[in-house]
A and B are shown apart, each in its own frame.
Chain A
């Protein structure tokens, strides 16, 4: 079939995705451009819908933990933590303080890893591969630390229902301190680069500005919102696990542009490093886990944690069996994605990858939704009968 550019009525649409070098995961954007300027944007998600929520309904409480940990490949630990906290609440148990502290410690290491990964990806989208290579090289440090603590590099499986699996001994604590000292120096350097490099600032300053009102209207969460001055961080406003004992300082900026998003994320790294050091100095003694019954009492609960990308929300319902009745996950990328479509309009095409990466999207995280076609745009909404008919015709 000959391909023709979508040029009806002089409209020039650029498809980005599902397979595109700018996207490391599949998603489909269509940008209508006038020359180089974007005039409209649409989005289609759902290419990596994996049915994880449904999958939990056929697994016992313990097995579901590992399935949910795989919702996201980068922030796997926060998913496990949110789930564990929820299930523990339903079961009426509480993980011992040492376990909670280790959970927070791993979560903060994971935040460092996630933000440094993002820093590299965002720099690459801007065509600044130098920063990309160096931030990823240094990210290796924190990956090694996580591997040393938990035994795995990506899906750490540090949590178990009722606590954690891995302890931190003196030697490991020293390793972490050494690693953090190195990282702190490097991150200071990166802060200089992202806030001072003339060429880089040309691509970030004043680009993709979102006001505080925009953020609140669209429900933006996480560092993206904090870069616009929204004071929202669950570690501060609804502390969980060991955050009540180890308070976090809120990091915000006011500019709301890409530069602010860089600065907020890099500054959060310093906060994470401070927090990890504090926890290491003051690790409570005690058990690593408590027993959680195999059958969880009936009930429903929500559990919220601050993932590297923003608020992560879990709804868990039990009907007194050894399996979950319903688990609902809402990941931070889903609300943030809406902002891309809105702020893209009026920007240069070249800024689009930057704006998209600016929210630190995670596609596999948010593909847990139903795409609804819009009949007013000529997309068909099919009835069951039509769908069936189509299927019969298709396979005839």
Chain B
């Protein structure tokens, strides 16, 4: 019974979706305010979702209809499953086993993968290019992002999210001891969510809406919800690992919101990178830096 509640109501399901929308709203509002605009009202993400859900879903010719319908569901399901293993809003994770960190990270990638496949599934030329870009970008930030999350795992000597957060709670903030990992994790999160400057896969002025160009109605709504969920989970992970573990829920939420405002600021201040520049940036700097730190950590652990 409690398992079903955990899946459908709290911390998964409805609660998660709502938190995702609230975080999305805060992000949009902050970017708008940075740009001296009004920004959307608080219910806008919810209204968007309801509108999209109510709309007719047009299935374009030449797609595999089964894939077209199931991919959004899989993408959202992946993101929601990941939520079960992370300490959402500062509460103990619902499920936990040794190695759940890796599972969580891969569940999160399911959304990106789903987006890419959804684009490749259609014949639309913008979608195809968008899908190529989405997947290219996935390969560029994925490894550094994973390494950045593994840094805390190495020092905590565990692959279980709960134990890592416990370790992070008992020691100085890992932000201080592993600053590079923190930066890479935060920026990798932006890449994962395709936020500016990593929004080349959905660059409106080039390829319309990228991989999701052909999606309307329900599928689009599910992908959007997935994005919101992923934003929450990503922020939770980074805050729990690097900003002193799981604490009182209110303080924890404040920490994630602080991270969110940094993300919003970066979004506002950056110019979109071309896809080749994104790849270059990640492999030339991101991966190398985080790898250097990773090696240093291993050596350090070995010496201790």
Contacts and interface: CB of A to CB of B under 8 A. Distances in A.
Task: Establish whether A and B are touching in the complex (CB under 8 Å).
Answer: yes
Interface of A: 1-6, 12-15, 20-22, 33, 36, 123-130, 133-134, 137, 197, 199-200, 202-203, 348-353
Contacts of B37: 133
Nearest to B274: A350
Contacts of A12: 125
B268 interface: yes
Given A20-B208, A22-B205, A351 B274 contact: yes
B271 A349 contact: no
A2 B62 contact: yes
Nearest to B61: A2
A13 B124 CA distance: 11
A74 to B, nearest CB: 19
B61 A127 contact: no
Given A133-B36, A137-B36, 17 more contacts: A3-B124, A13-B125, A14-B129, A21-B208, A22-B204, A36-B276, A125-B205, A126-B271, A127-B196, A128-B271, A133-B37, A197-B271, A199-B271, A199-B273, A348-B275, A350-B272, A353-B206
A129 B197 CA distance: 11
Nearest to A133: B35
Contacts of A15: 125
Contacts of A130: 34-35, 268-269
Contacts of A22: 204-206
B182 interface: no
A14 B207 CA distance: 9
A350 B126 CA distance: 12
B271 A127 contact: yes
A202 B36 contact: no
A5 B61 CA distance: 12
16 contacts: A2-B62, A6-B125, A12-B125, A21-B205, A21-B208, A22-B204, A22-B206, A123-B271, A126-B271, A127-B199, A130-B34, A203-B271, A203-B272, A203-B274, A350-B200, A350-B274
A43 to B, nearest CB: 17
A318 to B, nearest CB: 45
Interface in B97-129: 123-126, 128-129
Nearest to B37: A133
A116 to B, nearest CB: 15
Contacts of A352: 206
B interface SS class: loop
Contacts of A5: 123-125, 128
Contacts of B125: 5-6, 12-15
Interface of B: 34-37, 60-62, 123-126, 128-129, 196-197, 199-200, 203-208, 268-277
B203 A127 contact: yes
A192 to B, nearest CB: 14
Contacts, number: 91
Given A3-B60, A127-B199, A202-B273, A21 B204 contact: yes
B203 A350 contact: yes
Contacts of B123: 3-5
Contacts of A13: 125
Nearest to B200: A350
Given A5-B125, A133-B35, A199-B271, A348 B205 contact: no
Nearest to B133: A36
Contacts of A33: 129
Those 3 A-B pairs whose CB atoms lie nearest each other, nearest first: A127-B272, A133-B35, A22-B205
A200 B271 CA distance: 6
A351 B208 CA distance: 15
Given A3-B60, A22-B205, A127-B205, A202 B275 contact: no
B204 to A, nearest CB: 5
Nearest to A123: B271
Given A3-B60, A127-B272, A199 B128 contact: no
Nearest to A201: B271
A349 B272 CA distance: 13
A134 B35 CA distance: 7
A15 B129 CA distance: 12
B276 A348 contact: yes
Nearest to A200: B271
A62 B275 CA distance: 53
Nearest to A351: B274
B130 to A, nearest CB: 11
Contacts of B271: 123, 126-128, 197, 199-200, 202-203
